[in-house]
Amino acid sequence: MTDTTSLKAPVAVKKPHSFSHHGITVTDDYAWLRDPGYPQVTDKEVLDHLEAENAWFEARMAPHQPLVDMLFRELRARIKEADKSVPQKDGDYLYWIEFEEGAEYKKWWRRPVAAGDDGEADQLILDEVALAQGKEYFRLGAISVSQNGKLLAYSIDDNGSERFTVRVKDLETGQLLPDEIPGTLSALVWVAGDTGLVYSLANENWRTDNARLHWLGQDTASDIEIYHEDDEGFRVSSSLSANEKWLIISTSDHETSEVRLVPVAEPLADPILVRPREKGVEYDADEREGTLYIHANDTHENFRLATAPLDNPGKWTTLIEGSDEFYLTGVDLFRDFYVIEGRRGGLDQVELRYYDDPGRNEPIVFPEASYTAGLSDNPEWGVDKLRLSYQSMVSPATVYDYHVADKRLEVLKVQEIPSGYDASLYVTERLEIPARDGTIIPVSILMRKDREPAGPLHLYGYGAYGIAIEPGFSTSRLSLVDRGFAYAIAHIRGGDDLGRAWYKAGKLERRTNTFNDFVDVARALVDRGFTMPGRISISGGSAGGELMGAVVNSDPDLFGAVVAHVPFVDVLATMLDADLPLTPGEWPEWGNPIEDKAAFELIRSYSPYDNVKAQAYPPMLVTAGLNDPRVTYWEPAKWVARLRELKTDSNELLLKTNMGAGHGGKSGRFESLRETAEEFAFILWQFGVEA
């Protein structure tokens, strides 16, 4: 056990620094924590400070290591170690993934459909376990089998920087081809009869501003840029149409998009532009028999479905009108029908529609009143059944096949929890809580039926980028719930849980609605007897970490423990730095404080780092990733330094920086659980629970 008596909480030195915009000067005495050589971090003073914080984290957590170990064993025991996915047919093969006992990473398998259940025909096509051997970090990025089934393209990141290296494997010989493409950040799309591969490079600022074509066997120096994006705020992505006839090149920021189609057989042909970009208009498109199907928000913020002739792609005709009641989140084409997905009243909906009968729609009916569901892996064009995923806060993940002809759901697999799980012990509710402006905020809550009233409660939130936090199942949260916690998800504005208007009501000039909603939910849960002030633990990551920073500045007394993962807390400085990888693309979400004084003043008013003050703060655990390109490591490091300087309490404040990982923390299915165990142990420690 580490000797805690010889260590003290690290105190970062203050080095006077300031910057001015719009006639306003901002001081930042901890700006030196950004290594001037970033993305390389080699400055000894910076590294020494991060290591000192890590040593302090280890020292303070050391007495609670038995609790961490206990929680880790619990979390791991709920995972079926030897597990496999339900095989899915794609062409001449069935494909599936498999975890072996004790393995951190998975293996990718296939078997010829013609072989039936003959295990002798099983073929291991990619072994993540072998690829990750000896690496502190490993992440598989893209994986793509060629259309003829003979080649496999894949990309890996082995340091968390999210710059992936592409390799190509001959599935007939098992050998790697000499082709190697470093620095990618994209899907991998086979074109031109499997002789070419389309990908995107991350540029020096970690932006994918390109779509490139690599001919197999050729030097990457001769790769051809088939599309380049000049707007530094936009990102480029590539995909295949559902019928696999078209390469779809999309470019977008957080509020505007533009789509081009290129024949897969002729990737150097002139692209077909579906519609020129128009600020605020988002759309995506697919094609069937000469007709484009376009999912767009041009006439309604909750999106409509339009069609257009391929030879006149700008002539859009509405097929499904946009609606205040139904939020149309996506459209998937199949040969004989198409599927729309969306949410009605915040609840997932999946409906089949038919090309030859526009008035016919078939909603798929699921067994519970509150759940999350959607299309899963459906790679083939002509199908008579659909693969679906389903779960709720009390129902483990379930894989279904939906048989189209007889409208029947067939259960293929239910998530197995080896240590045992009895759904009848738990209850879930969906609450409606009024925010201070009268807006009704949905809250999903899970607890044991025998929980003591007004016990501890964990509240989770995100509220950004139009990302909904769905009421799904989690084996991990049971470690809190089984210790008397209620677990609540606040569906706050900034996500799109209730539609596009819900998202817009938490961004730009209305950003503070997100923070207010979260606080108002916490207070209402106290008022309704679910818990008490100071008995609420909270957590959030990235933009959800910004949420954590904002609410502890505004309402610190409400919370008994806070976990902020890779928190986006230095919002003002980051949005003022156009050279950072994400910043220009983020301005539509947060505002551009460089050009807009009002945006500068608003961001400055809520940016967690800029609003730390001399007051008591709740106990806090903060995490960071040294190689994180999304939320740079210095944001949480600076925040913790300023908190240590100004806070007036003696509560715990811990910073843990993963020195070999990025935005998602450690890789591997069990190593990541250890970080969850540390998070929960910290919360339980602060609540006086050590068992």
Q: Please give the tally of structural domains in the chain.
A: 4
Query: Strand, coil or helix: what is 256?
Result: coil
User: Could you report the per-residue pLDDT of 401-415, keeping only the tens digit for each?
Assistant: 999 999 999 999 999
Q: Are residues 336 and 367 in the same domain?
A: no
CATH number at residue 220: 2.130.10.120
Query: Strand, coil or helix: what is 536?
Result: strand
φ, ψ for residue 340, nearest 5 deg: -110, 145
Residue 588 per-residue DSSP state: H
- Is there a catalytic annotation at residue 237? no
- Is there a catalytic annotation at residue 497? no
Q: How far apart are CA 559 and CA 552, in angstroms?
A: 8
pLDDT at 374: 97
CATH number at residue 598: 3.40.50.1820
User: Could you report the per-residue pLDDT of 212-237, keeping only the tens digit for each?
Assistant: 999 999 999 999 999 999 998 899 99
Confirm whether 504 is domain-assigned: yes
Answer yes or no: is pLDDT of 1 > 70.
no
Sequence-distant (≥ 6) Cβ neighbours of residue 91 within 8 angstroms: 147, 149, 380
Query: What are the strands, taking DSSP E only, across 289-407?
Result: 291-296, 304-309, 317-320, 326-333, 338-344, 347-354, 357-363, 372-375, 385-391, 398-403
Q: Are residues 394 and 295 in the same domain?
A: no
**pTM of the entire predicted model:** 0.90
> Which of 85, 146, 537, 542 is flagged as catalytic?
542
> Which of 28, 83, 555, 628 is flagged as catalytic?
628
- Is there a catalytic annotation at residue 542? yes
User: Could you report the per-residue pLDDT of 473-497, keeping only the tens digit for each?
Assistant: 999 999 999 999 999 999 999 999 9
User: Could you report the per-residue pLDDT of 495-547, keeping only the tens digit for each?
Assistant: 999 999 999 999 999 999 999 999 999 999 999 999 999 999 999 999 999 99
**Preceding amide of 39 cis, omega within 30:** yes
Q: Are residues 115 and 257 in the same domain?
A: yes
Q: Are residues 57 and 91 in the same domain?
A: no
> Which of 83, 565, 663, 667 is flagged as catalytic?
663
Sequence-distant (≥ 6) Cβ neighbours of residue 23 within 8 angstroms: none
Confirm whether 63 is domain-assigned: yes
φ, ψ for residue 383, nearest 5 deg: -135, 155
Answer yes or no: is pLDDT of 154 > 50.
yes
3-state helix, strand, coil in the chain (%, to 5): 20, 35, 45
Beta bridge partners of 433: 441
pLDDT at 417: 97
Q: Are residues 641 and 593 in the same domain?
A: yes
Q: Residue 527's domain spans which residues? A: 422-532
Give the residue from 72, 74, 668 showing the smallest Cα distance to 417: 74
Q: Are residues 442 and 481 in the same domain?
A: yes
Burial class of residue 228 (count of CB atoms within 10 Å of its CB; 0-12, 13-18, 19+): exposed
The band of 117, judged by pLDDT with boundaries at 50, 70 and 90, is: confident
Average pLDDT on 566-574 reads: 97
pLDDT at 582: 80
Q: Which amino acid is at 507?
A: K
Confirm whether 64 is domain-assigned: yes
For residues 472 and 391, the answer to whether their CB atoms sit within 8 Å is yes
Answer yes or no: is pLDDT of 662 > 60.
no
Confirm whether 562 is domain-assigned: no
Give the residue from 4, 16, 13 showing the smallest Cα distance to 49: 13
Q: Are residues 50 and 98 in the same domain?
A: no
User: Could you report the per-residue pLDDT of 445-469, keeping only the tens digit for each?
Assistant: 999 999 999 999 999 999 999 999 9
Tokens (6 digits) for 258: 């533009």
Q: Which amino acid is at 444?
A: S
